[in-house]
A and B are shown apart, each in its own frame.
Chain A
């Protein structure tokens, strides 16, 4: 992890971004309004807020899966569209989205296949990735033979297989039980440290946001706006950190921000 953030490049920079769904119709929805957000390279950012605050929509603007109605989204200094075409980011969804008909390594190789990598290169990279997420012995298993947590690890391995500099995660641990979830959080931090990837992480869990992030971005709903940005510094974290007063302090800070959002 690089501590000196002064001379680092912006990974994501969003200026005055609006998103309106179904404009000029009866069911027009102002999903996001006037979003300004900078994410530095190497950061771990969480987007948190009540449902309907547009956190997933914001993630999809960065991913160029949605196009802003107004404003500008830059990823590594390029347009979001160019960044998607250059495959500067990997994405992980709430449901692992692994393909049933591919075994674990074939799932990890999918993006490499689309990039036209040779079979030998793909297999070598897939082995590396399985090592990273510690699932070496499951490479020939099919997704349905794995637990939810293991499936999500494969999904992370797939997203990182082509070494993107940015990892976008949409409530990736939302469907996991609490114990698996906490374990996955520690694993994700380890992977983040080992790869130095910038992470943007959508969640609705306060402890999850506080535990993982270097910065928590709190959104307020209808229309979705950035309410506040909370910097968290828990240093290197482990399961013991969850009992640390500093962790308690961080969750309290995020919780109070969310209460203020609810009250407004």
Chain B
């Protein structure tokens, strides 16, 4: 059952990829025929189809297997990107873990004290309207002044993005049990913390896991933006920055780094999915 489902998912991904490549190449071919106009009209295409703007998909995939010179060594692009992605993954993982802890603590705090909910929630919302690109250098400068490596600052930026969905969905989840469930715990003379552990936290899981999935992808985005905005020496953000500067010469390289970034996003999403399966669906428990 699960095996067949996994196979179906893999097949869907493959078919989607093929369709996307077909669309890419079809659009490019059409543009080449009509000199970047909609066929039969004078209207220009939204994206021009020359090899600089839209390299052939084959060239992009070929770039992934080609060698790249990094410092003194030469290695295939996939290995090069995987190394960079590993560093970014570490930052994202630290940021995600911290974000989950901060988010959960905030949610529990807001659950316990109504005034905290009234006082904090607006600020938590406001926190996400601050542009990341402005915040990132500030945080990293603070971290640098304290003598921490850049990784710490970047992880904190990822934390800043990830705590938000966890806090907001977490609070909703903790408040989700029916009043009769709470009365039941009260009838057992259960303490506030027992009610939290035996009722509210398990009941919050269907709210928390979607938030974790969002937070996981956000932690990758936060790490990459953090790397780019402060110019670290390594990480996917560095690779993107380097390749962007040489886009005019080697557009395939920037595309391949974008593919690496989205694969990393998919990977962390998959990790959270696996964790969810272990925690919720391993039993025969069926969720709403």
Contacts and interface: CB of A to CB of B under 8 A. Distances in A.
Given A100-B287, A101-B285, A63 B187 contact: yes
Interface stretch (B194-202, B217-225, B248-256): B194-202
Nearest to A91: B187
Contacts of A91: 183-184, 187
Given A91-B183, A113-B198, A142 B284 contact: yes
A214 to B, nearest CB: 24
B184 A93 contact: yes
Contact of B183 (A65, A90, A141, A145): A65
A150 interface: no
A63 B286 CA distance: 32
Contacts of B181: 97, 99
B71 interface: no
A111 B188 contact: yes
B254 to A, nearest CB: 46
A95 B178 contact: yes
Contacts of A113: 198
Contact of A114 (B190, B202, B203, B283): B190
Given A110-B198, A114-B194, A145-B284, A95 B188 contact: no
A144 interface: yes
B129 interface: no
Name the residue among A99, A103, A142 with the largest chain B CB count within 10 angstroms. A99
A100 B186 CA distance: 19
A119 B194 CA distance: 17
B41 interface: no
A89 B184 CA distance: 11
B133 to A, nearest CB: 41
B192 to A, nearest CB: 13
A123 interface: no
Given A97-B180, A101-B205, A110-B198, A87 B188 contact: yes
B1 interface: no
A95 B285 contact: no
B189 interface: yes
B205 A93 contact: no
Interface residues of A, number: 25
A60 B194 CA distance: 22
A84 B187 contact: yes
A144 B286 contact: yes
Contacts of B280: 101
A142 to B, nearest CB: 5
A142 B286 contact: yes
A239 B285 CA distance: 35
B201 to A, nearest CB: 10
A177 to B, nearest CB: 21
B188 A114 contact: yes
B285 A142 contact: yes
B189 A85 contact: yes
Interface string A55-92: 00000100101000000000000000000110101110
For A60, A63, A110, the residue with the greatest tally of chain B CB atoms inside 10 Å of its CB is: A110
A114 B198 contact: yes
A103 B183 CA distance: 21
Contact of B184 (A87, A97, A141): A97
B105 to A, nearest CB: 22
A188 B62 CA distance: 73
Contact of B189 (A60, A84, A103, A141): A84
Contacts of A85: 189
B187 A103 contact: no
A91 B183 CA distance: 9
Interface string A221-258: 00000000000000000000000000000000000000
Contact of B286 (A65, A90, A145): A145
Interface in B151-184: 178, 180-181, 183-184
Contacts of B188: 87, 110-111, 114
Contacts of A63: 183, 187
Contacts of B180: 93-95, 97
A89 B186 CA distance: 12
A87 B184 CA distance: 12
Given A142-B283, A142-B286, A101 B187 contact: no
B187 A89 contact: yes
B172 to A, nearest CB: 17
Interface of A: 60, 63, 65, 84-85, 87, 89-91, 93-95, 97, 99-101, 103, 110-111, 113-114, 141-142, 144-145
Given A87-B187, A91-B183, A101-B280, 4 more contacts: A65-B187, A85-B189, A114-B189, A144-B286
**Ranked 3 nearest A-B pairs via Cβ:** A93-B180, A144-B286, A91-B187
